[in-house]
Amino acid sequence: MKILILNGPNLNMLGLREPDIYGSQTYDDLVAFVQQSAQELNLQVDVRQSNHEGELVTWIQQARGTADAIVINPAAYTHTSVAILDALLAVNLPAVEVHLSNVHAREEFRRVSYCAMACKQVVAGQGIQGYRAAMEYLLTNQ
């Protein structure tokens, strides 16, 4: 099984960015953790990060025919992007939304997720472990 793992804006700043909320691990730590987990779960992963909404949309479109599922942390675009929602609906691949922090217990605006409308599951508040939980979910719910 091949999973496209997408990360949205500012996730490249992990480690520096609000460590009290997002932890002290860096984006490179996140990628290493995801790759290690994928190896253990016998999955293939393609891990990417972009600060640009359109680039994320293009990568989702390209997943059609090249990936079996998508794990996405759309970051701030979670709460604003109809374009990412539409791309996920268009490719119609099983998708899981991940958030490092517990978005449900933060500001009101973070409780709204457009992307979740196209996802089978949302994993929030588990830090980088949430990516592994998302991969496990997709493995058992294909």
Catalytic residues: 22, 99
Q: What residues numbered 26-85 form the site for ligand DQA, per CB under 6 A? A: 73, 75-76, 78
Q: Look at residues 37, 63, 36 and name the one whose alpha carbon lies nearest to residue 48.
A: 63
Could you say which of 25, 51, 80, 101 contacts ligand DQA (CB under 6 A)? 101
CB atoms within 10 A of CB 38: 21
Distance CA 87, CA 92 (A): 8
Helix axes 27-41, 129-140, angle to 10 degrees: 30
Residue 103, interface with ligand DQA (CB under 6 A)?
Answer: yes
Could you say which of 110, 133, 136, 139 contacts ligand DQA (CB under 6 A)? 110
Residue 99, interface with ligand DQA (CB under 6 A)?
Answer: yes
Candidates 27-35, 62-70, 85-93, 100-108; binding stretch for ligand DQA (CB under 6 A)? 100-108
Residue 100, interface with ligand DQA (CB under 6 A)?
Answer: yes
Residue 4: C-alpha distances to residues 17, 111, 125 (Å)? 24, 24, 21
Q: Which is nearer to ligand DQA, 110 or 120 (CB)?
A: 110
Tokens (6 digits) for 130 = 């949430």
Q: Which residues bind ligand DQA (CB under 6 A)?
A: 10, 73, 75-76, 78, 99-101, 103, 110
